[in-house]
Structure 1
Amino acid sequence: MFSLASYNAGFGHVKDAQRLARQLGLRDDKWFHNVESAMLLLQKNIIINMHDLATSVAVSR
């Protein structure tokens, strides 16, 4: 999936989503429900405080 995502969205955007996934406590090496979720957040141009979001994601699990 990473190859297809890189082709469609661009390598840099996928790397940004992987970085965001790590910051959210998700796995940056798994696409579904991990990097995919981070990519969707980036796609929506959601501006967030990373610490608060990471905390809220951890609490909701």
Structure 2
Amino acid sequence: MLTAYDSQMARILDTAGVDVLLVGDSLGMVVLGYKDTKHVTMNDMIRHTEAVARGATEAHIV
């Protein structure tokens, strides 16, 4: 299991054979620039999970 927040990283990890991709609320700090994860909305999670799903064809997404 590795973390992916966008389709490009998901595609790279999927191609490398990673079997599970995690889209975690840490995307708030890593991608969106928040100080903590409290500001991450459900829409943020949905948007990034959809992007990961577009990039991965084999890996399971959590």
Same fold per superposition (TM over 0.5):
no
- Higher strand residue share: 2
TM-score between the two structures when normalised by the length of structure 2: 0.32
TM-score between the two structures when normalised by the length of structure 1: 0.32
Q: Which protein, 1 or 2, shows the higher relative CO under an 8 Å CA cutoff with sep ≥ 6?
A: 2
- Higher helix residue share: 1
